[in-house]
Structure 1
Amino acid sequence: MTYLVFFCGHAGTGKTTLAKKLIGPLMQASATPFCLLDKDTLYGGYSAAAMGMLTGDPNDRDSPLFLQHLRDPEYRGLLDTARDNLELGISALVVGPLSREVRARRLFDRAWLGVGADVELRVVWVYTTEETAHQRIVDRANPNDAYKLAHWDEYRQRRFVPSGDSCADLLMFDNTAPTPADYQALLARLVGEAQAQVSIMPPMPV
């Protein structure tokens, strides 16, 4: 059995930190090797070079130009890489905002993902308050966030909390100040209560 696990959510929610914290327990609990596929790690350098050539700003990840022309190819490459690993028997933990895909329920669409019924799908929506997310973005001082911070009122319009039908089967995780019990509960929802009896270290800073 292989798993395709998505950690989705807006900037500053701590998706990558959470994924790195849980990948070890996930491998132990599921007895399955996992790869960690973070969109920014895989495509950050490429997109920086492309945006630098197109606009002179290699750190642009939020302008209309980036969102229209580079966002979707990045995600398609991310999913293609996950699928290659799944076909080799390696589970994938995929990290990226993926907000449009969550809204459209595409991450539960096996045909769109290109995966069969033998792959266990899990989608986690990682969230925190806008104020907490904003402060984390400021504190991490990543140049890629410059456009976002300079146009925060515009960016915040894209922030949303899934509700209604979009929440079906979505695993919601409040990453504001999680406790070890919160991590344990999420692990149980990812792999099942019986398999989740593994130790998770105390919370890491986000």
Structure 2
Amino acid sequence: MTRLVFVCGHAGTGKTTLAKRLAAPLAQATGEPLCLLDKDTLYGRYSAAVMGMLTGDPNDRDSPLFLQHLRDPEYQGLLDTARENLAMGVGAIVVGPLSREVRDRRLFDREWLRVGPEVAVSVVWVQTSEAAARERIERRANPGDAYKLSHWDEYRQRRFEPSDAQCDGLLIFDNTAPTNADFDALVRRIVADPAKNAD
């Protein structure tokens, strides 16, 4: 069995840092090889070049133009890359906001994911307060966040938080001030309780 772990959440929640911290303990706990696939690492430079050519702003990752034309192809490529690794017996930790896919339950739909029952799927939703997320975004000073910060009221309306049935199967992780015990507990939950059923 190979493992597909999604680490999702809004900007500033600490998804990439968490995923990097999870990688070695998960590989050790399962005895399975894992790769880390971060959307920004895989597609950041490419999308910057495209947006720079189209709008003159290579740092735009939140405008309607980007969301309409580049968002979904980035995620499709991310999943294609994950599936190639899974086919070779290498698990994948996939990092990206994926809020729309969490909201619509697509990450639990094996037909949409195009993965079989031999793949253990886990979906981690990383959360922190809006104020903490904005503080982290400002502190990291990533040019790709400029549009978010200058259009914060617009962006914050897209800050979906799962509730009710949307939480079924989600491993929700509060990344505001986690302890080592919190990280260890998350590793155990991923190993012991992957979401195995398709919607």
TM-score surpassing 0.5? yes
CA RMSD in angstroms comes to 0.7
Residue 77 of structure 1: aligned partner: 77
Q: Percent of counterpart pairs with the same letter?
A: 73
Tell me what 1:32 maps to: 32
**Partner deviation per Cα, 1:1-29 (whole Å, 9 max, x = no partner):** 10000000000000000000110001000
- Determine whether 1:2 maps to 2:2: yes
In structure 2, the partner of 1:44 is 44
Q: Name the aligned partner's letter for residue 177 of structure 1.
A: A
> Aligned equivalents of 1:165 and 1:192: distance in 2?
21
Q: Deviations over 1:22-51 (max 9, x none)?
A: 100010001000000000000001000000
Matched, 1:140 2:140: yes
Instruction: Give TM-score scaled by structure 2 length.
Output: 0.96
Paired position in structure 2 for 1:22: 22
Alignment of 1:162 with 2:162, yes or no, is yes
SS of equivalent to 1:125: strand
* Residues 1:179 and 2:179 aligned together: yes
Q: Which amino acid aligns with 2:18?
A: L
Unaligned stretches of 5+ residues in structure 2: 194-199
Which amino acid is the alignment partner of residue 71 of structure 1?
A: R
Deviation at 1:116, TM superposition (A): 0.2
Question: What's the counterpart of residue 53 of structure 1?
Answer: 53
Residue aligned with 1:135, SS: helix
> In 2, distance between residues paired with 1:117 and 1:162?
25
The whole-number CA distance in structure 2 between the counterparts of 1:134 and 1:177 is 15
Moved over 4 A (4+): none
3-state DSSP of counterpart to 1:121: strand
Q: Deviations over 1:102-132 (max 9, x none)?
A: 0000000001001000000000000000000
Give distance in 2, aligned partners of 1:117 and 1:104: 21
> Which consecutive unaligned segments of at least 5 residues does structure 1 have?
194-206
Q: Residue 67 of structure 1 aligns to a residue in which SS?
A: helix
Q: CA deviation at 1:161?
A: 1.5
Show CA shifts across 1:157-178 (max 9, x none). Answer: 0002100111000000000000
Residue of structure 2 equivalent to 1:199: none
Name 1:189's counterpart in structure 2.
Answer: 189
What TM-score do you get using the length of structure 1 for normalisation?
Answer: 0.93
d(CA) in 1 for partners of 2:168, 2:176? 22
Q: Following TM superposition, by how much is the alpha carbon of 1:192 offset from its aligned partner in structure 2, in angstroms?
A: 2.1
Trace 1:107-146 onto structure 2 (pairs within 5 A): 107-146=107-146
The Cα of 1:85 is off from its aligned counterpart by 0.2
Cα distance in 2 for partners of 1:86, 1:16 equals: 20
Paired with 2:5 and 2:130, the residues of 1 have a C-alpha distance of 25
Separation in 2, partners of 1:102, 1:160: 9
Q: What secondary structure, in the 3-state scheme, does the structure 2 residue paired with 1:17 have?
A: helix
2:146 maps to amino acid:
A
State the AA in 1 paired with 2:28. Answer: Q
CA distance in 2, matches of 1:81, 1:160: 26
